[in-house]
Amino acid sequence: MTNNGGMELHNLLKYMTLFERDVSLNVWHFALLSAILYLGYRQGQPKIIKVSRSKIMALSHIKTLPTYHKYFKELQVMGYIRYTPSYHPGYRSEVELLFMN
């Protein structure tokens, strides 16, 4: 099943299994990655996803900025994502999924 020619549902499940097997990931990492993948699926984008902090926080059920920033940064350091901020109010920031083939 494909959403708008982009990310396929079976790939979502494959990535979730990959995350599950990585013992260095905790529940906060998993929640952030799940939120990012969900946004990518809804956008039909398999690799580069338009994001906003507020949307990721809402989808991942993370309520505090320090928690969000800590674990979002750790995902970058661990090599799961590359974050490209947008400092323009009319453009959303981007997250590139680095674990995709």
Is position 81 within any domain? Answer: yes
Between strands 48-51 and 81-84, the pairing is unpaired
Is position 3 within any domain? Answer: no
- Residue 89, pLDDT > 90, answer no
pLDDT digits (tens, 9 = 90+) for 34-45: 999 999 989 998
Write the CATH number for 27: 1.10.10.10
Total count of domains within the chain: 1
Is position 27 within any domain? Answer: yes
User: Which residues span the domain enclosing 34?
Assistant: 9-97
pLDDT digits (tens, 9 = 90+) for 55-82: 999 999 999 999 999 999 999 999 999 9
Written in H, E and C, the secondary structure of the chain is CECCCCCEHHHHHHHHHHHHHCCCCCHHHHHHHHHHHHHHHHHCCCCEEEECHHHHHHHHCCCCHHHHHHHHHHHHHCCCEEEECCCCCCCCEEEEECCCC
pLDDT digits (tens, 9 = 90+) for 1-35: 444 456 777 777 888 888 888 999 999 999 999 99
Is position 1 within any domain? Answer: no
Is position 66 within any domain? Answer: yes
What is residue 2's predicted lDDT score, i.e. its pLDDT? 45
Its pTM stands at 0.86
Is position 46 within any domain? Answer: yes
